[in-house]
Structure 1
Amino acid sequence: MADTQAKDGYYYTEKHEWVKVEGDVALIGITDFAQNALGDIVFIDLPKPGKQIKAKDSLGTIESVKAAEDLYSPISGEVVETNATLGSNPQAVNAEPFDTWMVKLKNIQTSELGGLLTAAQYKEYVSKLD
């Protein structure tokens, strides 16, 4: 999986979550590497809007045919929206992991982005996992 996809303009964690900042909102999802490792995703449990989240806190659970894994927040903020489409179509994450956000946060702590990986750093990190 050395050619695992990582897009510029996103920040990454070593647990394979991504965050993309759009204005004062952060979108959070999982990487191509994560969805490949999980296999077919069958259910995603996400927090309700209004919940305060700190960086590295659990945002919910992702269940696949292979495993159930926690989703962790790369940065702190308040849940403003969850992707309602995922309730009926969790497989969208498998099809388009970078276009399928799971949670939107507001009141984000942008200072925490410096502790995350860039696309190049994430690709290098993943290449060492092979």
Structure 2
Amino acid sequence: MAEQTYFWQEKMANGQIKLGLNQAAREELGQVKYAELPQVDQELAVGDTLLAVEAQKMVQDLPTPIAGRIVATHEALTTTPELLDTNDDQENWIAIVAQD
């Protein structure tokens, strides 16, 4: 997936951006077995690791497509990483980023 992002983006009413795993990434990775989330208040530059995953087809650090500060993470992914395998954006989101 050269030059392609692994994430969908949703601009929220407050201007923050919610990021989640997109269909192309799910197909490339296969079933996710482990997910390591960024830390709340962590500052990320474009290309920094947003999500580290261990999946059926590969172990990969996935780079963030946007810069900003992590304001929330989907903590359920640490114990239930298979939520990333679903098409439901309410379940497969990873983090919310503020671009202050």
What TM-score range do you get, normalising by the shorter chain?
Answer: 0.7 to 0.9
What is the match of residue 14 of structure 1? 4
CA distance in 1, matches of 2:88, 2:29: 12
Identity %: 22
Partner SS state of residue 81, structure 2: coil
RMSD in angstroms over aligned alpha carbons? Answer: 1.7
Please report the TM-score for the alignment, with normalisation by the length of structure 1.
Answer: 0.66
- Supply the distance in 2 between the matched residues of 1:29 and 1:76 (Cα, whole angstroms): 15
Q: Which runs of 4+ in 1 moved over 3 A?
A: none
Q: Contact 2:72–2:95 (CA<8 Å) still a contact in 1?
A: yes
Unmatched segments (≥5 aa) in structure 1: 1-12, 110-130
Q: What does 1:40-59 align with in structure 2 at a 5 Å threshold?
A: 40-59=31-50
Superposition pairs of residues 111-122 of structure 1, within 5 angstroms: none
The separation in 1 between residues aligned to 2:95 and 2:22, in whole angstroms, is: 14
Whether 1:25 aligns to 2:16 is yes
How many angstroms does 1:97 deviate by?
Answer: 5.5
Q: Which residue is equivalent to 2:73?
A: 82
TM-score by length of 2: 0.84
Q: 1:66 aligns with which of 48, 57, 67?
A: 57
Consecutive unaligned residues of structure 2, counting only runs of 5 or more, are none
Residues 1-45 of structure 1, C-alpha deviation per residue, up to 9 Å, x if partnerless?
A: xxxxxxxxxxxx713222111022111122111111211101111
Matches of 2:66 and 2:31, distance apart in 1:
26
SS in 2 for 1:71: strand
Which deviates further from its counterpart, 76-85 or 16-25? 16-25
Counterpart-to-counterpart distance in 2, 1:89 and 1:40: 12
Counting helix residues as a fraction of each chain, which structure ranks higher? 1
Mark the structure with the bigger radius of gyration: 1
